[in-house]
Structure 1
Amino acid sequence: MSRLQQLRRQLTPGEVYRRTELTNWSKSVDRHLDELVQEGTLQKLSQGLYYYPKESAFGKTPPDENMLVESFLKDHRFLLTTPNVYNSLGVGTTQLYNVRTVYNHKRHGEFKLGNKTFQFKIKPHFPKKVTPEFLLVDLVNNLESLAEDSSEVLKKVADKVEAMDKKKLKHSVVEYGSVKAKKLFAPLLQPHTL
Protein backbone atom coordinates (compact mmCIF):
# COMPACT_ATOMS: atom_id res chain seq x y z
CA MET A 1 0.00 0.00 0.00
CA SER A 2 1.37 3.42 -0.97
CA ARG A 3 1.85 6.25 1.52
CA LEU A 4 -0.93 8.16 -0.22
CA GLN A 5 -3.33 5.22 0.22
CA GLN A 6 -2.32 4.95 3.89
CA LEU A 7 -3.07 8.64 4.36
CA ARG A 8 -6.40 8.34 2.51
CA ARG A 9 -7.44 5.49 4.85
CA GLN A 10 -6.97 7.75 7.88
CA LEU A 11 -9.48 10.32 6.56
CA THR A 12 -13.15 10.38 7.54
CA PRO A 13 -15.85 12.09 5.45
CA GLY A 14 -17.26 15.18 7.16
CA GLU A 15 -14.05 15.93 9.08
CA VAL A 16 -11.84 19.04 8.95
CA TYR A 17 -8.07 18.48 9.15
CA ARG A 18 -5.07 20.67 9.85
CA ARG A 19 -1.97 19.96 7.78
CA THR A 20 0.02 19.28 10.95
CA GLU A 21 -2.38 16.48 11.99
CA LEU A 22 -1.69 14.61 8.76
CA THR A 23 2.10 14.58 9.09
CA ASN A 24 1.73 11.43 11.25
CA TRP A 25 0.72 9.43 8.16
CA SER A 26 2.84 11.00 5.44
CA LYS A 27 6.45 12.00 5.05
CA SER A 28 5.49 14.01 1.92
CA VAL A 29 2.38 15.61 3.36
CA ASP A 30 2.32 18.65 1.03
CA ARG A 31 2.61 16.52 -2.12
CA HIS A 32 -0.03 14.10 -0.85
CA LEU A 33 -2.38 16.93 0.14
CA ASP A 34 -2.01 18.44 -3.35
CA GLU A 35 -2.87 15.05 -4.89
CA LEU A 36 -5.90 14.58 -2.60
CA VAL A 37 -7.15 18.09 -3.47
CA GLN A 38 -6.58 17.47 -7.22
CA GLU A 39 -8.57 14.22 -7.14
CA GLY A 40 -11.39 15.86 -5.13
CA THR A 41 -11.00 13.80 -1.94
CA LEU A 42 -10.10 16.92 0.07
CA GLN A 43 -11.05 20.58 -0.30
CA LYS A 44 -8.57 23.25 0.76
CA LEU A 45 -10.39 25.70 3.06
CA SER A 46 -7.50 28.01 3.92
CA GLN A 47 -3.76 27.82 4.52
CA GLY A 48 -3.14 24.47 6.27
CA LEU A 49 -6.86 23.61 6.66
CA TYR A 50 -8.61 20.86 4.65
CA TYR A 51 -12.05 19.29 4.54
CA TYR A 52 -13.11 15.79 3.47
CA PRO A 53 -16.65 16.41 2.13
CA LYS A 54 -19.49 14.05 2.93
CA GLU A 55 -21.68 13.00 0.02
CA SER A 56 -25.42 13.58 0.29
CA ALA A 57 -28.35 13.21 -2.12
CA PHE A 58 -27.71 16.86 -3.08
CA GLY A 59 -23.95 16.51 -3.62
CA LYS A 60 -21.03 17.34 -1.37
CA THR A 61 -21.96 18.87 1.98
CA PRO A 62 -20.10 21.87 3.41
CA PRO A 63 -18.15 21.48 6.66
CA ASP A 64 -19.91 21.97 9.99
CA GLU A 65 -19.13 25.58 10.98
CA ASN A 66 -18.34 24.74 14.61
CA MET A 67 -15.94 21.98 13.56
CA LEU A 68 -14.35 24.31 11.01
CA VAL A 69 -13.80 27.11 13.54
CA GLU A 70 -12.54 24.69 16.21
CA SER A 71 -9.95 23.26 13.77
CA PHE A 72 -8.91 26.74 12.64
CA LEU A 73 -8.48 28.01 16.22
CA LYS A 74 -7.16 24.72 17.64
CA ASP A 75 -9.47 25.57 20.55
CA HIS A 76 -13.03 24.66 21.54
CA ARG A 77 -13.57 27.86 23.55
CA PHE A 78 -15.40 30.19 21.18
CA LEU A 79 -18.88 31.51 20.46
CA LEU A 80 -20.08 31.46 16.86
CA THR A 81 -22.89 33.87 16.04
CA THR A 82 -24.12 36.22 13.30
CA PRO A 83 -25.75 39.68 13.28
CA ASN A 84 -28.79 37.96 11.70
CA VAL A 85 -29.82 36.58 15.10
CA TYR A 86 -30.45 40.14 16.34
CA ASN A 87 -33.61 39.98 14.18
CA SER A 88 -35.08 37.45 16.65
CA LEU A 89 -35.10 40.10 19.42
CA GLY A 90 -37.91 42.12 17.81
CA VAL A 91 -36.17 45.48 18.21
CA GLY A 92 -36.39 46.62 14.61
CA THR A 93 -33.39 44.89 13.04
CA THR A 94 -34.30 43.21 9.75
CA GLN A 95 -31.11 43.21 7.66
CA LEU A 96 -29.40 39.98 6.67
CA TYR A 97 -25.61 39.84 6.81
CA ASN A 98 -23.31 37.40 5.09
CA VAL A 99 -20.76 37.22 7.89
CA ARG A 100 -20.29 35.09 10.96
CA THR A 101 -18.78 36.47 14.17
CA VAL A 102 -16.49 34.29 16.27
CA TYR A 103 -15.77 35.48 19.81
CA ASN A 104 -12.61 33.75 20.97
CA HIS A 105 -9.38 34.09 22.96
CA LYS A 106 -6.82 33.63 20.13
CA ARG A 107 -7.49 35.23 16.73
CA HIS A 108 -8.62 38.66 15.55
CA GLY A 109 -9.53 39.70 12.03
CA GLU A 110 -11.49 38.58 9.01
CA PHE A 111 -10.74 35.13 7.63
CA LYS A 112 -12.21 33.29 4.66
CA LEU A 113 -12.58 29.59 5.46
CA GLY A 114 -13.83 27.71 2.43
CA ASN A 115 -16.46 29.97 0.87
CA LYS A 116 -17.55 31.67 4.11
CA THR A 117 -16.25 34.81 5.79
CA PHE A 118 -15.71 34.79 9.53
CA GLN A 119 -15.04 37.87 11.65
CA PHE A 120 -12.86 36.72 14.57
CA LYS A 121 -12.96 38.98 17.64
CA ILE A 122 -10.82 38.44 20.73
CA LYS A 123 -12.93 38.88 23.87
CA PRO A 124 -11.96 38.09 27.47
CA HIS A 125 -15.51 36.89 28.25
CA PHE A 126 -18.37 35.42 26.26
CA PRO A 127 -21.04 32.84 27.14
CA LYS A 128 -20.92 29.21 26.00
CA LYS A 129 -24.13 29.77 24.04
CA VAL A 130 -26.18 32.72 22.86
CA THR A 131 -28.93 33.84 25.27
CA PRO A 132 -31.49 36.62 24.64
CA GLU A 133 -29.79 38.73 27.33
CA PHE A 134 -26.33 38.33 25.77
CA LEU A 135 -27.83 39.02 22.34
CA LEU A 136 -29.36 42.32 23.45
CA VAL A 137 -26.05 43.45 25.00
CA ASP A 138 -24.14 42.29 21.92
CA LEU A 139 -26.55 44.21 19.68
CA VAL A 140 -25.87 47.42 21.61
CA ASN A 141 -22.11 46.71 21.56
CA ASN A 142 -22.21 46.40 17.75
CA LEU A 143 -24.97 48.90 16.91
CA GLU A 144 -22.66 51.21 14.95
CA SER A 145 -21.75 48.42 12.52
CA LEU A 146 -25.39 47.67 11.63
CA ALA A 147 -27.33 49.15 8.72
CA GLU A 148 -30.41 50.02 10.81
CA ASP A 149 -31.31 53.43 12.27
CA SER A 150 -29.56 53.35 15.67
CA SER A 151 -31.95 55.72 17.44
CA GLU A 152 -35.01 53.69 16.38
CA VAL A 153 -33.39 50.43 17.49
CA LEU A 154 -32.38 51.94 20.86
CA LYS A 155 -35.98 53.03 21.54
CA LYS A 156 -37.10 49.44 21.00
CA VAL A 157 -34.19 48.12 23.10
CA ALA A 158 -35.51 50.20 26.02
CA ASP A 159 -38.95 48.58 25.57
CA LYS A 160 -37.36 45.12 25.29
CA VAL A 161 -35.51 45.58 28.61
CA GLU A 162 -38.90 45.92 30.35
CA ALA A 163 -39.95 42.47 29.14
CA MET A 164 -36.70 40.68 30.04
CA ASP A 165 -35.35 39.04 33.18
CA LYS A 166 -33.56 42.03 34.74
CA LYS A 167 -31.20 39.90 36.85
CA LYS A 168 -29.97 37.91 33.84
CA LEU A 169 -29.74 41.06 31.72
CA LYS A 170 -27.76 42.89 34.41
CA HIS A 171 -25.33 39.95 34.57
CA SER A 172 -24.89 40.06 30.76
CA VAL A 173 -24.33 43.82 30.80
CA VAL A 174 -21.68 43.52 33.54
CA GLU A 175 -19.94 40.53 31.90
CA TYR A 176 -20.14 41.37 28.19
CA GLY A 177 -21.12 45.03 27.77
CA SER A 178 -18.81 47.66 26.36
CA VAL A 179 -18.37 50.91 28.34
CA LYS A 180 -20.93 52.53 26.03
CA ALA A 181 -23.40 49.65 26.48
CA LYS A 182 -23.05 49.78 30.28
CA LYS A 183 -23.85 53.52 30.24
CA LEU A 184 -26.86 52.93 28.01
CA PHE A 185 -28.26 50.07 30.10
CA ALA A 186 -27.61 51.68 33.52
CA PRO A 187 -30.76 53.87 33.61
CA LEU A 188 -32.84 51.10 32.00
CA LEU A 189 -31.97 48.67 34.78
CA GLN A 190 -32.86 51.00 37.69
CA PRO A 191 -33.51 50.69 40.60
CA HIS A 192 -30.65 48.15 40.34
CA THR A 193 -27.25 49.75 39.90
CA LEU A 194 -24.52 48.32 37.73
Structure 2
Amino acid sequence: MSKLDDLKSHLRKGNIYKREELQKWSSSIDRHLSELINEGILKKVGPGLYHFPKKNAFGFEPPADQLLIKKFLDNDNFLITSFNSFNALGLGTTQLYNKQIVYNHLRSGDIKLGNKLFSFRKKSAFPQKPTKEFLVVDLINNLEALAEDQPKILEKTLKKATALDQSSLEYAIEKYATPKTRKLLAAV
Protein backbone atom coordinates (compact mmCIF):
# COMPACT_ATOMS: atom_id res chain seq x y z
CA MET A 1 0.00 0.00 0.00
CA SER A 2 1.38 3.42 -0.99
CA LYS A 3 1.54 6.35 1.43
CA LEU A 4 -1.23 8.05 -0.58
CA ASP A 5 -3.48 4.97 -0.29
CA ASP A 6 -2.77 4.89 3.43
CA LEU A 7 -3.89 8.51 3.70
CA LYS A 8 -7.03 7.77 1.63
CA SER A 9 -7.93 4.90 3.96
CA HIS A 10 -8.34 7.38 6.85
CA LEU A 11 -10.74 9.68 4.97
CA ARG A 12 -14.51 9.47 5.54
CA LYS A 13 -17.10 10.93 3.16
CA GLY A 14 -18.78 14.08 4.43
CA ASN A 15 -15.96 14.94 6.85
CA ILE A 16 -13.92 18.12 6.92
CA TYR A 17 -10.22 17.87 7.72
CA LYS A 18 -7.55 20.31 8.78
CA ARG A 19 -4.16 19.98 7.12
CA GLU A 20 -2.57 19.28 10.52
CA GLU A 21 -4.93 16.33 11.10
CA LEU A 22 -3.98 14.70 7.81
CA GLN A 23 -0.27 15.27 8.35
CA LYS A 24 -0.04 12.35 10.79
CA TRP A 25 -0.78 9.92 7.92
CA SER A 26 1.57 11.45 5.36
CA SER A 27 5.23 12.43 5.20
CA SER A 28 4.57 14.54 2.06
CA ILE A 29 1.25 16.15 3.00
CA ASP A 30 1.32 19.00 0.49
CA ARG A 31 2.03 16.68 -2.44
CA HIS A 32 -0.61 14.21 -1.26
CA LEU A 33 -3.20 16.96 -0.75
CA SER A 34 -2.49 18.26 -4.24
CA GLU A 35 -2.96 14.75 -5.68
CA LEU A 36 -6.20 14.19 -3.74
CA ILE A 37 -7.57 17.53 -4.96
CA ASN A 38 -6.56 16.75 -8.58
CA GLU A 39 -8.29 13.35 -8.31
CA GLY A 40 -11.44 15.08 -7.02
CA ILE A 41 -11.37 13.20 -3.73
CA LEU A 42 -10.83 16.28 -1.57
CA LYS A 43 -11.97 19.85 -2.14
CA LYS A 44 -10.20 22.80 -0.53
CA VAL A 45 -12.88 24.74 1.35
CA GLY A 46 -10.82 27.24 3.33
CA PRO A 47 -7.37 28.05 4.63
CA GLY A 48 -5.96 24.65 5.59
CA LEU A 49 -9.44 23.01 5.35
CA TYR A 50 -10.37 20.11 3.10
CA HIS A 51 -13.73 18.44 2.53
CA PHE A 52 -14.35 14.86 1.36
CA PRO A 53 -17.75 15.45 -0.27
CA LYS A 54 -20.58 12.95 -0.39
CA LYS A 55 -22.24 12.50 -3.75
CA ASN A 56 -26.01 12.55 -4.18
CA ALA A 57 -28.39 12.59 -7.16
CA PHE A 58 -27.65 16.29 -7.78
CA GLY A 59 -23.86 16.10 -7.53
CA PHE A 60 -21.53 16.73 -4.62
CA GLU A 61 -22.99 17.94 -1.32
CA PRO A 62 -21.34 21.05 0.07
CA PRO A 63 -20.23 20.91 3.71
CA ALA A 64 -22.77 22.08 6.28
CA ASP A 65 -22.04 25.62 7.50
CA GLN A 66 -22.14 24.50 11.14
CA LEU A 67 -19.50 21.78 10.56
CA LEU A 68 -17.33 24.03 8.41
CA ILE A 69 -17.19 26.80 11.00
CA LYS A 70 -16.76 24.36 13.88
CA LYS A 71 -13.70 22.88 12.15
CA PHE A 72 -12.36 26.31 11.15
CA LEU A 73 -12.62 27.71 14.70
CA ASP A 74 -11.71 24.40 16.41
CA ASN A 75 -14.69 24.79 18.75
CA ASP A 76 -18.47 25.04 18.70
CA ASN A 77 -18.84 28.27 20.67
CA PHE A 78 -20.26 30.51 17.93
CA LEU A 79 -23.54 31.79 16.52
CA ILE A 80 -24.28 31.89 12.80
CA THR A 81 -26.76 34.62 11.95
CA SER A 82 -27.59 37.04 9.17
CA PHE A 83 -29.30 40.39 8.73
CA ASN A 84 -32.04 38.31 7.06
CA SER A 85 -33.02 37.15 10.58
CA PHE A 86 -34.37 40.64 11.25
CA ASN A 87 -37.14 40.01 8.69
CA ALA A 88 -38.74 37.61 11.21
CA LEU A 89 -39.38 40.50 13.62
CA GLY A 90 -42.12 41.86 11.33
CA LEU A 91 -40.68 45.38 11.15
CA GLY A 92 -40.90 45.82 7.41
CA THR A 93 -37.30 44.82 6.69
CA THR A 94 -37.38 43.06 3.35
CA GLN A 95 -33.81 43.32 2.09
CA LEU A 96 -32.02 40.02 1.51
CA TYR A 97 -28.34 39.72 2.40
CA ASN A 98 -25.98 37.04 1.12
CA LYS A 99 -23.38 37.32 3.89
CA GLN A 100 -23.65 35.31 7.07
CA ILE A 101 -22.32 36.67 10.33
CA VAL A 102 -20.48 34.41 12.76
CA TYR A 103 -20.29 35.75 16.31
CA ASN A 104 -17.40 34.05 18.09
CA HIS A 105 -14.63 34.66 20.62
CA LEU A 106 -11.60 34.02 18.35
CA ARG A 107 -11.69 35.59 14.87
CA SER A 108 -12.68 38.77 13.07
CA GLY A 109 -12.85 39.52 9.37
CA ASP A 110 -14.49 38.29 6.19
CA ILE A 111 -13.41 34.78 5.27
CA LYS A 112 -14.54 32.63 2.36
CA LEU A 113 -15.25 29.05 3.42
CA GLY A 114 -16.53 26.66 0.79
CA ASN A 115 -18.33 28.90 -1.66
CA LYS A 116 -19.75 31.29 0.95
CA LEU A 117 -18.48 34.48 2.52
CA PHE A 118 -18.72 34.58 6.30
CA SER A 119 -18.21 37.73 8.33
CA PHE A 120 -16.51 36.65 11.56
CA ARG A 121 -17.08 39.05 14.44
CA LYS A 122 -15.33 38.73 17.74
CA LYS A 123 -17.82 39.29 20.57
CA SER A 124 -17.55 38.83 24.30
CA ALA A 125 -21.10 37.43 24.51
CA PHE A 126 -23.81 36.04 22.25
CA PRO A 127 -26.65 33.55 22.77
CA GLN A 128 -26.54 29.96 21.55
CA LYS A 129 -29.79 30.58 19.66
CA PRO A 130 -31.12 34.02 18.70
CA THR A 131 -34.19 35.20 20.62
CA LYS A 132 -36.50 38.05 19.58
CA GLU A 133 -34.91 40.18 22.29
CA PHE A 134 -31.41 39.43 20.99
CA LEU A 135 -32.53 40.19 17.41
CA VAL A 136 -33.92 43.59 18.47
CA VAL A 137 -30.62 44.45 20.19
CA ASP A 138 -28.57 43.08 17.28
CA LEU A 139 -30.64 45.01 14.73
CA ILE A 140 -30.00 48.30 16.56
CA ASN A 141 -26.30 47.38 17.00
CA ASN A 142 -26.08 46.93 13.20
CA LEU A 143 -28.55 49.62 12.10
CA GLU A 144 -25.97 51.60 10.08
CA ALA A 145 -25.13 48.52 7.99
CA LEU A 146 -28.73 47.88 6.92
CA ALA A 147 -29.85 48.85 3.43
CA GLU A 148 -33.25 49.99 4.69
CA ASP A 149 -34.89 53.26 5.76
CA GLN A 150 -32.92 53.39 9.02
CA PRO A 151 -34.95 56.01 10.95
CA LYS A 152 -38.21 54.21 10.08
CA ILE A 153 -36.78 50.79 11.05
CA LEU A 154 -35.42 52.21 14.33
CA GLU A 155 -38.82 53.67 15.19
CA LYS A 156 -40.56 50.34 14.50
CA THR A 157 -37.87 48.42 16.41
CA LEU A 158 -38.23 50.60 19.51
CA LYS A 159 -42.00 50.12 19.36
CA LYS A 160 -41.53 46.35 18.99
CA ALA A 161 -39.20 46.35 22.01
CA THR A 162 -42.03 47.59 24.25
CA ALA A 163 -44.09 44.49 23.36
CA LEU A 164 -41.31 42.02 24.23
CA ASP A 165 -40.69 40.30 27.56
CA GLN A 166 -39.03 43.13 29.49
CA SER A 167 -36.80 41.00 31.73
CA SER A 168 -35.49 39.08 28.67
CA LEU A 169 -34.98 42.38 26.86
CA GLU A 170 -33.08 43.86 29.83
CA TYR A 171 -30.86 40.77 29.89
CA ALA A 172 -30.21 41.06 26.12
CA ILE A 173 -29.40 44.76 26.45
CA GLU A 174 -27.00 44.14 29.33
CA LYS A 175 -25.22 41.22 27.61
CA TYR A 176 -25.21 42.16 23.90
CA ALA A 177 -25.87 45.89 23.37
CA THR A 178 -23.32 48.47 22.36
CA PRO A 179 -23.30 51.72 24.39
CA LYS A 180 -25.21 53.48 21.59
CA THR A 181 -27.85 50.73 21.52
CA ARG A 182 -28.16 50.91 25.32
CA LYS A 183 -28.92 54.63 25.07
CA LEU A 184 -31.52 54.11 22.35
CA LEU A 185 -33.25 51.33 24.31
CA ALA A 186 -33.03 53.10 27.69
CA ALA A 187 -36.41 54.75 27.13
CA VAL A 188 -38.02 51.36 26.54
The residue aligned with 2:134 is 134
The one-letter amino acid of 1:125's match is A
How big is each residue's C-alpha offset from its partner over 1:1-37, in whole Å with a ceiling of 9 and x where there is no partner? 1111111111111111110010111111111110110
CA contact (8 A) 2:133 2:161 kept: no
Give the whole-Å Cα distance in 1 for the aligned partners of 2:129 and 2:11.
30
- What RMSD over aligned residues (CA atoms) do the two structures have, in Å? 0.9
**Number of the residue aligned with 1:50:** 50
8 A Cα contact 2:79 2:129, kept in partner:
yes
Deviations 1:59-99 (A, max 9, x none): 11110101101111112111111111111111121111110
Given that 1:92 and 1:152 are in contact with CA atoms closer than 8 Å, whether structure 2 keeps it comes out as no
Normalised to the residue count of structure 1, the TM-score between the two structures is 0.94
Structure 2 CA distance, aligned partners of 1:135 and 1:57?
37
Answering whether residue 96 of structure 2 is matched by residue 96 of structure 1, we say yes
Runs of 4+ in 1 over 6 A off after TM superposition: none
2:62 aligned residue: 62
1:191 matched residue in structure 2: none
Alignment deviations for residues 113-158 of structure 1 (CA, whole Å, 9 cap, x no partner) = 1210000111011111111111111011001001001111011112
Residue 192 of structure 1: aligned partner: none
Match of 1:62, SS state, is coil
Q: Is the 8 A contact 2:86 2:93 kept in 1?
A: yes
How high is the TM-score relative to the length of structure 2?
0.97
Secondary structure (helix, strand or coil) at the match of 1:97 reads coil
Q: Which moved more, 1:153-162 or 1:176-185?
A: 153-162
Amino acid at match of 2:167: K
Unmatched tracts of structure 1, length 5 or more = 189-194
| Kept after mapping to 2: 8 A contact 1:3/1:26 | yes
User: Residues 20-39 of structure 1 correspond to what in structure 2 (within 5 A)?
Assistant: 20-39=20-39
**Residue by residue, what CA displacement relative to the aligned partner does 1:157-194 show, whole Å, maximum 9, x if unpaired?**
12211221111011001100000110011101xxxxxx
Unaligned runs of 5+ in 2: none
Amino acid at match of 2:69: V
One-letter amino acid of the structure 1 residue matched with residue 97 of structure 2: Y
Q: What secondary structure is seen at the aligned counterpart in 1 of 2:187? A: helix
The answer to whether the 8 Å contact 1:17/1:49 transfers is yes
Partner of 2:186: 186
Contact 1:84–1:96, Cα closer than 8 Å, also in 2: yes
Q: How many residues align?
A: 188
Matched, 1:9 2:9: yes
Whether the aligned pair in 2 keeps the contact of 1:86 and 1:135 (CA below 8 Å) is yes
